[in-house]
Chain A
Amino acid sequence: MHRLVVCVAAGLLIAVSVSEAKTLSVLLLANASTQTQIQQLLKEYSAENSGIDFNVSIVPYSSFTAKVNTLVAGGEPPDILEVTTAYIQTYADLALDLTQYTDRSELLNRYLPSYQAFIKSGNKVIGIPIEATINGLFYNKNLFAQAGITVSADPAHIWTWMQFKETLERVMKLRSCRIGVAYDCSVQRWSNLLYQANGRWISTDGRQILPDRQAATQALTFFRGLIEAKLVPTSSWPGKTDGGPLFKTGVTAMMWAGNWELKTLVEGGTLFPFGTTFFPKDAIRAACPGGEFVMGFAKSQNHDDAAKVLLWWAKPETTKRYLESLGGSLLSPMQNLPVNYGKYTEYLKPMLDDLSATPDWVAEDLARPQLNLLQNDLLDQLILYSTGRAGLDATLSRIDQLGSQVLNRPKQ
């Protein structure tokens, strides 16, 4: 009889624990270098918190919006979503507000000002930055040595735009150099120039596109000059060949890309030594920050448990563990977090310096969801102008037209 009571009690306990077990749906971006580590971290969370499990789905970047929008429209948003800078603000209205679970300012102050801009939406905090990226400049040390050019390691002596162009022209005179700068064909990569000219895409009141016409004109004409001088190869702009493979050939002087290229270059190896340096400056110094975030949805099935996971990830020790598990090629979005970047330390120094020199409003501008909606159309216009198929006035007026379609879209 006694045994029977014990068995029934044990059975009930098991039944209760099984019924309390929750499976959180997680949607991750397909990224060979991070998806395994994120899943590993989620396993650690499950081990620490019994009764919480994760059902992870991985979506390619190309079908990301289609997948998320379908889930959201179907009333079944994922509990946790990995999202980039380009998309986080798109889902701001539906996002889980983390200030319901923790102190707003304490949470925000853990992060660099640039990353605060991405996760703030009114009074809400809508996500947790898990890694930071920054656009950066790479150079082939062999080619620069052959051209007799030394690259400054001092941020006080960085190139101006004109010096940058002249440097490229000097290296391009070498017979062994066939490509000046492999420049990724994207709006974000071009935006570095706009910000360096002290311009922005969208006015602070959100009503006008390219409010500072002079800055926009400077950035457009300088970039067109690089293409006309054949310093940026047409296979990059507008051919859309990624900078990484072009740079790896060893016949390319520089690459205008970002720190995410480091892993491939360092671990995959190059046949030549390479280094990184500061972005050139115009009116100001600036580089586009980026990165990835995790966020929840207010109407997801397990939003309270999702909030716990997100806040667990917002702990400095979790972020540090995650970044170090990646080998150190990605940056910390947290303030004063001593991360061991290992073999990437030297390469990341100029990029971290560029990031700290970048004004906070750059991230605010990049975080605007309207900019994301206009990406493809803006890229078309940048290509048409930079390749000489459209004039400056026509380009600016077309961008105005496209901008007004999105900026004046009535809120429903």
Chain B
Amino acid sequence: MASIDSRATEPDTRKGHPSGIDGNAPGRRFEFKWAPYLFLLPTVGFLCVFSILPMFSGFWMSLHRVDVIRGTFNFIGLANYTRLFHDSQFGLSIFNTAWYTLTVVPLIVVASIAIAVCLRESRPARLLARVGFYIPFVLSPVVVATSWKWLLNEDLGVIDGFMKWAGLSTIPWLSADFPARVSVVLASVWNLVGFYMLMVLAGLSQISHDLYEAARIEGANRWRQFWHITLPLLRPTILLIVILATIHATQAFETILLLTDGGPGGATRLVVQNMYQAAFGRLEPGYGVAQAVVLMPVILCVAWLQMRLFKEEGIF
């Protein structure tokens, strides 16, 4: 028994420190366990090569005037950053990105919940409708943009054609600032809502029917059931949707590029397209990267908020 106790009090180098180094054991030989580090190496290596190194080299590039074609770098200090703060196009693209994100994300959340709740039961017609809502998500951005471009065409489009037939005045969907912004949001929501609807359906399947049964017995109508059972229990799913949709919105590029090309006059040009245009259109990669560097604190704040919300919800 005594021998067991003495073993229990003996310092264990395998447990004392995650690295396997027990610094509290004077005179003991340092034992370094390589295995955990070796297991981590591929991931850390990938992260370094594809995320951390590009981040630092991007920042370094933003301090230079880069000639991509001749491969020359000319140090210009913070000139790209000072130029950024005088660039009205960059300011407009920030505004557009904020507007786009703040409209697309709530619309996606509301629409995906509404559709999922309506199509909750597994009847054949509803299953078919689910497929119908999901199809736009698997379409290529070219198809999505081209379809919407023709639907919204002012001269020959179906929507304006219907409005003319109904005696209403037509809307310049793609050629005036506000309608173009609305069009881009509509096309994006239509494109993405099917994916998020599936997530809500998965969330709904986790809610026990007993809760609804009990609520019905207590006299709760469908609205109260939704408000007091469905919505609270969907909170983790909704949170996940908000985060994923925000990421989607800040990365939006192809559909908008093909639908409006950032037009008219830059009214729908988001930051990603602005960066792309600076780097590949005007061949100023340093200036393009400077925009990304300025945006980094904003993205970090969103990431921090995301971590906090996840923690509060106990998701991790």
User: Could you tell me if B264 and A387 are in contact, using CB atoms closer than 8 angstroms?
Assistant: yes
Assign chain B's interface to a size class: 20 to 34
The interface stretch among B70-78, B114-122, B123-131, B228-236 is B70-78
A-side contacts of B67, CB under 8 Å: 412
Q: How many Å lie between the Cα of A375 and that of B283 in the bound state?
A: 12
The answer, among B70, B149, B283, for a CB contact under 8 Å with A93, is B70
Residue among B89, B153, B281 making CB contact with A235, cutoff 8 Å = B153
| Whole-angstrom CA separation of A69 from B172 in the bound complex | 38
Select which of A373, A389, A409 is within 8 A of B265 by beta carbon: A389
Instruction: Using A93-B70, A249-B156, A412-B67 as known contacts, say yes or no to A235 and B174 having CB atoms under 8 A apart.
Output: yes
Does any Cβ of B come within 8 Å of A178's Cβ? yes
The answer on a CB contact under 8 Å between A384 and B265 is yes
Complex CA distance for A90 and B262, rounded to whole angstroms: 24
- Say whether A380 contacts B260, CB under 8 Å: no
Interface positions, chain B 170-184, Cβ under 8 Å from A, are: 172, 174-175, 177
Binds B, one of A118-126, A238-246, A283-291, A325-333: A238-246
Q: Which of A66, A240, A379, A409 has the most CB of B within 10 A?
A: A240
Q: Please judge, given known A-B contacts A373-B282, A376-B281, A384-B265, whether A239 and B153 are in contact too, CB under 8 Å.
A: yes
Min distance, Cβ B84 to any Cβ of chain A, angstroms: 13
> Binding site of B, secondary structure by majority: helix, strand, loop or mixed?
loop
Closest B residue by C-beta to A69: B68
A272–chain B nearest beta-carbon distance, Å: 16
Chain A contacts of B74 at CB under 8 A? Answer: 410, 412
Check: A233 CB closer than 8 A to any chain B CB.
yes
CA gap between A90 and B65 in the complex, in Å: 17
Tier of interface size on chain A:
35 or more
Q: Per-residue CB proximity of A174-188 to B under 8 Å, as 1/0? A: 000011000000000
In contact, A383 and B263 (Cβ under 8 angstroms): yes
> What are the residues of chain A within 8 A of B153 when measuring CB–CB?
235, 239, 241
Flag whether B251 is at the interface (Cβ < 8 A): no
A379-B265 Cα distance, complex, nearest whole Å: 8
B154: which of A91, A235, A373, A389 is its contact (CB, 8 Å)?
A235
Q: Which of B89, B149, B175 contacts A238 (CB 8 A)?
A: B175
Residue A94, interface by CB 8 Å = yes
Interface residue? B217 (CB, 8 A): no
B277 at the interface (CB under 8 A from A): yes
Interface string of A24-63 (1 = CB under 8 A from B): 0000000000000000000000000000000000000010
**With an 8 A cutoff between CB atoms, is A374 at the interface?**
yes
State the CA gap A246–B155 with chains docked (Å).
9
Check if B156 sits within 8 Å of A235, measured CB to CB.
yes
Known contacts A235-B154, A240-B261: A66-B280 contact under CB 8 Å? yes
Among B242-268, those with CB < 8 Å from A are 257, 260-266
Most-contacted residue by chain A among B156, B157, B257 (CB, 10 A): B156
Contacts of A238 in B (CB 8 A): 174-175, 263-265
Asked if A72 CB lies within 8 Å of chain B CBs, one says: yes
B155 to nearest A CB, angstroms? Answer: 5
Complex CA distance for A239 and B70, rounded to whole angstroms: 36
Interface flag for A163 (CB, 8 Å) = no
Write out, one digit per residue, whether chain B residues 174-216 have a CB within 8 A of any chain A CB (1) or not (0): 1101000000000000000000000000000000000000000
CB distance from B88 to the nearest CB of A (A): 9
* Residues of A272-290 contacting chain B, CB below 8 A: none
Contact flag A73-B281 (CB < 8 Å), given A238-B264, A241-B153, A246-B155 = no
B69 contacts the other chain (Cβ, under 8 Å)? yes
Q: Kindly list 6 other residue pairs between chains A and B, CB separation below 8 angstroms, not including A65-B280, A380-B266.
A: A62-B257, A69-B280, A72-B71, A239-B172, A239-B175, A383-B264
Q: List 17 A-B contacts (CB under 8 A).
A: A69-B69, A72-B68, A90-B283, A234-B155, A234-B172, A235-B157, A235-B175, A239-B174, A240-B261, A373-B282, A376-B282, A379-B263, A380-B89, A380-B266, A387-B175, A387-B265, A412-B72
**Closest CB pairs A-B (n = 6):** A238-B264, A234-B175, A412-B72, A384-B265, A239-B175, A239-B174
